[in-house]
Amino acid sequence: MNITLRQLRAFCDVAQTSSFTLAARRMNLTQSAVSMLVRQLETDIGLALFDRVKRSVQLTETGRQLLPIAERILGDLREVIDGAADLRALRRGTLRLAVPQMLACSWLPPVMAQYRALYPDVALKMIDTTADRVVETVRQGEAEIGIGPERPTPDDVQADLLWQERMQCVCTTVSPLAQRASLDWADVADADWILYSDAFSGHLERTVWSGMSVHLRRTTQVRYLPTALALVGQGMGVTAAPGYAAPFGRLFGAIFIDIANPVVLRSFQIYTKKGYELSPAARAFRNIAEQERRATDTP
């Protein structure tokens, strides 16, 4: 059995008009073509759908019972077509996004405001997680797009550079360091350090401390950057953080200071599932995010 949608359409149109001629006009076919489609359908199901008496066409009892089913199938198909059109036009859909907590409440809101202004009917499902969980969240399919600092990626996750952020020293506002306009890494090599992720610690080790042959004398290890900022504000040590987090320093009595020799940049990536087509909602968000970063980076 190989029933086609055209056969169902011909059946429904003939039933609704009680005429092969009128059904042919609806379908932009010849009368003989419509008649053939109905005959093929009757052959496929092994039942007569119409009584053909002279020039009249009437549904058989079987036809009357099957007509609502056929109409429902065609109605469902129209919903699929209309739904696909709405998704393409972003009149519906869901954006599933994974972002570290600090980015979620600093960089992301203005970008999402632009997105919502353009696409008010798209729902947002945001997974505000740790930086170390962004890649895995994308890999497991919980989010279509992840945005976060550079992390190792498995073979099935694609990472594309979105922007680079300069790392700055963070100290308490009452520290002597706070009076400086800029610092060298050597100025803080002997300080008590507050580290907030293994990836962050490894990044500093590779880019700074190994070249200076420095072993940090005392460290405090936490998981989240806000916790590190709070401890810095209490005078428990210094940390380093990307510049986008500077507005949060004031909440904790901490200050961000440029630090050089060397300048350390932190890469932030867009993570997607390799080989998977992005939905229209995700593709539109990616375009806005990339445009926003290009505008920010333009002198």
Q: What local confidence, expressed as pLDDT, does residue 298 receive?
A: 45
Check pLDDT > 70 for residue 8.
Answer: yes
Residue of higher predicted confidence among 131 and 98:
98
SS3 169: strand
Q: What local confidence, expressed as pLDDT, does residue 297 receive?
A: 61
Task: Name which CATH class applies to 166-264.
Answer: alpha beta
Q: CA 153, CA 239: separation in Å to the nearest integer?
A: 26
Q: What local confidence, expressed as pLDDT, does residue 296 receive?
A: 63
SS3 215: coil
Q: What is the mean pLDDT of residues 114-141?
A: 92
pLDDT (tens digit, 9 = 90+) per residue, 233-288?
999 999 999 988 888 888 999 999 999 888 888 899 999 999 999 999 999 999 99
Q: 5-88 has which CATH code?
A: 1.10.10.10
Phi-psi category of residue 9: left, alpha or beta, with phi > 0 → left and psi -120 to 50 → alpha: alpha
In CATH, 94-163+267-297 is 2.40.50.140: no
SS3 16: helix
Residues 6+ apart with CB under 8 A from 1: 44, 45
Q: What is the mean pLDDT of residues 19-41?
A: 92
Q: What local confidence, expressed as pLDDT, does residue 217 receive?
A: 74
pLDDT (tens digit, 9 = 90+) per residue, 32-84?
999 999 999 999 999 899 998 777 789 998 989 999 999 999 888 888 887 77
- Domain chopping of the chain, boundaries: 5-88, 94-163+267-297, 166-264
pLDDT (tens digit, 9 = 90+) per residue, 137-196?
999 999 999 999 999 999 999 999 999 988 999 999 999 999 999 999 989 988 999 998
Residues 6+ apart with CB under 8 A from 102: 224, 225, 226, 244, 245, 248
Q: Is the four-CA dihedral 106, 111, 116, 117 of positive or negative sign?
A: positive
Measure Cα distances from 263 to 40, 216, 232, 260 in Å: 75, 19, 22, 4
Element (H, E) at 99: strand 94-100
Q: What local confidence, expressed as pLDDT, does residue 52 receive?
A: 85
Same fold for the pair 94-163+267-297 and 166-264: yes
